[in-house]
Amino acid sequence: MRNEPRRRVWVHVRAALILAAIVIGLLDGAPIPPARKAPESLRPLVKDLGTLRGTLMKPFRPIGDLFKLRQTYKLFSSARPEQHRMWIEVRREGRRDWELVYRPIDPAHDLMEGPIEYRRLRGAWNPGNRGTYGGYGPFVEWLAGELFARDPDIRAVRVRHEKLVLRPREGTAESTGSFEHRKVLWRSRWERRARR
Amino acid sequence: MTRQEPAARPAEGPGAARPATRLGRAWRGWAELMDRREAPTALALTRILVAAAVLGDLLQAAYLGVVGAVWAPPPHGTGTGAVWTRELPFMIEWLGPSLQTAWVVWTAAAVSAALVLVGAATRVSAVALVLALAQLGHIAPSGDRGIDYFLRSVLLVLALSGCHARWSVDAWLWRRIGRPMPAEVPAWPRYLLFAQLVWLYFSGGHNKSGSSWWPHGGLDALPSILCDPHFARFECGWVAHVYPLLQLATLATVVFELSSVLLPIITRWQRAPDRAGRIGRISNRLRLRWAWIGSGVAFHLGIAVTMRLGMFPFGCLALYPVLFHPDEISRAGESVRRRVRRRGARAAAAGAAMGILLLLAATGCGGGGAAPAEAPEAAEAPEARAQTHAHEGEHGGHGQGHDHGACGHGQHRFEDAEEWARRFDDPKREAWQKPDEVVALLQLEPGMTAVDLGAGTGYFISRLSRAVGPEGRVVATDIEPDMVRYMKERAAREGLGNVEAVLAPTDDVGVPAGSADRVLIVDVWHHIADREAYAGKLARALRPGGAVLVIDFTLDSERGPPRQHRLAPEKVIAELEAGGLDAEVVPETLPDQYAVRARRR
């Protein structure tokens, strides 16, 4: 072996780098809860741990930002019985009632199902525990634009979320009769914005 | 013999001296583990599957016409990160917040994913893909999912790995210019990806904060998700009928996720059963590793069937090849190929028979059509043919199952061992093969471990068995399962208790490192594709003081493979020395063959 001494050093350097990468990953993904969620007695400790992690991770933050990496994964961390079902409705020219055009798992109302589904996967409209996300407003604007462009008869688009209570034991998702996160977009406003 | 993870190379391992402290020994063990090398199949398969998952997701967005809607800044789309943040993504800074920028970044990601998929400029493409996906994530932060974070980490590790050494444009190009990629690549990226997958599950498990995942909360998390119209694929009614089963599945999910941290240990126990303690043996008996992997596959396929979670299940499953040692993947591939070949042969034979019948019916007379006997060869896929070998007539019958290097002229398979035994074990062979002299050249002593590499029907095993005595061991390897089956039966029939027949991969010796005193390679060396790399593996398989004996046909003998496939002894010596062995021609009296002996340096 021509470069045996150098290779031996490299073996150790590489082993150290891999170990460092694992330790940094574990540090990043360590389950340190937000201080507000911790029991009162543990709050100072949790806060200190969070600060310590922030300090230790600081030198690696640029790499994490560049490649957008993190090691915390949540796979359906909670499954509450209170959920939503989005309704997309349109109001046509000369009508005062709202016509349902899309609702998840509703074969009778599945307009633009594919694109809307993909938008959910990309976090556009499914509400979380603390309401809708930042992309909800732009999603509704995009949706309204698509519908107005498809059908000149549509005067307004309304998006809202029906509140449900899931009862899996009975195999039902019961409506509470109320709706949240309601947004309405009118064609006149959309056209004004498009002209700008 | 149970195959094991190859042990670290003692001579080349980091630090030959044994460290005194426990920490020192642990560090050396870690460094040795990270220094292991293996075939690149697991990493290459992972590269292909991960890139396919990412590319599929990107193309789906384009097909649905939502690229701009997802990644363009408002008002075109939900790319709020392009306008509402203090630190803008660098692509937005360079090209501005526009619909065109979204398309440019999407195109960069899709092209990079396609290049990673086919393995073209793989390292650069993989880094470019991670950067492009990260930019998409920065532009539309709410659209960046857990699976996106996960796959970016995976792609970065793949970029640093030798995943392009197999099934890639890169490997093809390097082979074309005469510098084939190494047969083995560093194993640490696979270990790291294994750990990444384990962490994905464990993190998912310990982040399950909702009580519905736990017995005290009624275990109704999965039933609830399957009733949630935003995620479920079907109406909720069916859930009531299988509610208890779904409760069980909820518990199983949590157990599966949290137990993932045990998977590396369980895997280690299964691959090195001699080092497994009592718990390890119980784990092996219960096949916990397979139970865990099977649960994982079922878990993801179940998700794909019953929930609408996009690429998540496929993105996770794409990483499952790293849970397997490349040997296991090679063996599974061989098995699948063989089955396909057999099925193909049957289908072709049936097709030919049907053709004859139709022809007979059409013409009202006999004759014509393809002969059914030719159908199996006709149905044989080119790739399957590349795995076959052996010469017409007088090869000498000692096949290892390789093609003839890069040339590949062999057209026969060694499936029917009984048929081949008639040729290989022909008593006339003794006159020119001189098996007693060959075994004498090995310089075997009682108690030694002798490996007969590419043993075929086991022509040498009885002589080798006698030479090493009851204290010794003979490991007879072949890549053809039917040959291995035949040798096992032969050893039992002839009462050779110290002979073990082992199915070996095409690109590896098939025995643990540092386990062989002698390796016999008769009429096989010229079949091996990357002989220099293989010689390195031979060197690692040898114990200190161990030796390899290569017997092959001379360039001018009457017997043997076509002349263009023969190797001069000088070439064999050079190849063995390239692998770290000291080789020399050994005097013998064989009429058609030469002998080269190589020892570990």
Pairing between β-strand B37-38 and β-strand B185-186 as defined by DSSP bridges: antiparallel
| A157 domain-assigned | yes
Mutate which: A169, A176, A185, A196, vs B, most B CBs within 10 A: A169
- Residue indicated by tokens 């957008």: A68
Same domain, A100 and A172: yes
Same domain, A52 and A128: no
Distance from CA of A27 to the nearest CA of B (A): 12
| A118 domain-assigned | yes
Instruction: Give pLDDT, residue B21.
Output: 87
Same domain, A88 and A176: yes
Annotate B391-455 with DSSP letters as a single string.
Answer: -SS-S-S------STTT----B----HHHHHHHHT-TTHHHHH-HHHHHHHTT--TT-EEEEET-
- Tell if the CB–CB gap between B133 and A68 is shorter than 8 Å: yes
Instruction: Give pLDDT, residue A7.
Output: 81
User: Rounded to two decimals, what is the model's pTM?
Assistant: 0.69
Q: Show Cβ contacts of residue B170 under 8 Å, excluding neighbours closer than 6 positions.
A: B119, B120, B121, B122, B164, B181
Chain A residue numbers with beta carbons less than 8 Å from the beta carbon of B152 are: 67-69
| A98 domain-assigned | yes
Number of domains in chain A: 2
Q: Is the pLDDT of residue B449 over 60?
A: yes
| A76 domain-assigned | no
Chain A residue numbers with beta carbons less than 8 Å from the beta carbon of B142 are: 122-124, 133-135
Residues 35-64, chain A: which have Cβ within 8 Å of B?
none
Q: Which residue of A has its CA nearest to B310?
A: A121
Other C-beta atoms within 10 Å of A97: how many? Answer: 7
Task: Report the CATH number of the B417-600 domain.
Answer: 3.40.50.150
- Tell if the CB–CB gap between A121 and B142 is shorter than 8 Å: no
Distance from CA of A47 to the nearest CA of B (A): 18
Percentage of chain B exceeding pLDDT 90: 50
Side by side, the strands of the sheet bearing A82-92 are: A99-102, A82-92, A154-167, A172-186
Same domain, A31 and A126: no
| A33 domain-assigned | yes
Chain A residue numbers with beta carbons less than 8 Å from the beta carbon of B221 are: 76, 78-79
In this structure, chain B runs to a length of 601
| A42 domain-assigned | yes
Angle at B40 between CA B188 and CA B583, to 5 degrees: 95
Same domain, A86 and A152: yes
Task: Give the mean pLDDT of chain B.
Answer: 84
All structural domains of chain B with their residue ranges:
1-35, 39-186, 210-324, 327-386, 417-600
Question: CB pairs below 8 Å between A and B: how many?
Answer: 225
Nearest Cβ partner for A15 among B30, B212, B213:
B30
Chain A residue numbers with beta carbons less than 8 Å from the beta carbon of B69 are: 115, 119, 139, 142
- Rounded-to-integer distance, Cα B65 and Cα B60, Å: 8
Q: Is the pLDDT of residue B246 over 90?
A: yes
Chain A residue numbers with beta carbons less than 8 Å from the beta carbon of B15 are: 8
Chain B residue numbers with beta carbons less than 8 Å from the beta carbon of A14 are: 34-35, 188
Q: Which amino acid is at A81?
A: P
Same domain, A44 and A94: no
At residue B321 the predicted structure's pLDDT band, cuts being 50, 70 and 90, is very high
Nearest Cβ partner for B227 among A1, A121, A173:
A173
Using CA atoms, how far residue B381 sits from B371, B391, B414, B504, in Å, is 18, 19, 16, 22
Domain containing A178 equals 82-195
Same domain, A61 and A86: no
- Tell if the CB–CB gap between A72 and B140 is shorter than 8 Å: no
Answer whether A116 touches B (CB < 8 Å): no
pLDDT greater at residue B81 or residue A108: A108
Distance from CA of B74 to the nearest CA of A (A): 6
| A77 domain-assigned | no
In this structure, chain A runs to a length of 196
Chain A residue numbers with beta carbons less than 8 Å from the beta carbon of B141 are: 134
Using CA atoms, how far residue B340 sits from B337, B345, B384, B503, in Å, is 5, 8, 9, 19
Q: What is the mean pLDDT of residues A147-175?
A: 95
Distance from CA of A190 to the nearest CA of B (A): 11
| A72 domain-assigned | no
Tell me which DSSP letter residue B212 carries.
Answer: G
- Tell if the CB–CB gap between A117 and B243 is shorter than 8 Å: no
**Structural domain ending residue among the three candidates A67, A91, A113:** A67
pLDDT digits (tens, 9 = 90+) for B28-61: 999 999 999 999 999 999 999 999 999 999 999 9
pLDDT digits (tens, 9 = 90+) for A121-141: 998 898 887 788 878 888 999
B74: its two tokens = 């408002």
pLDDT digits (tens, 9 = 90+) for B475-488: 999 888 778 888 98
- Rounded-to-integer distance, Cα B499 and Cα B597, Å: 23
Chain A residue numbers with beta carbons less than 8 Å from the beta carbon of B309 are: 121
Same domain, A60 and A102: no
Q: Is the pLDDT of residue B371 over 60?
A: no
Percentage of chain A exceeding pLDDT 70: 98
Same domain, A126 and A29: no
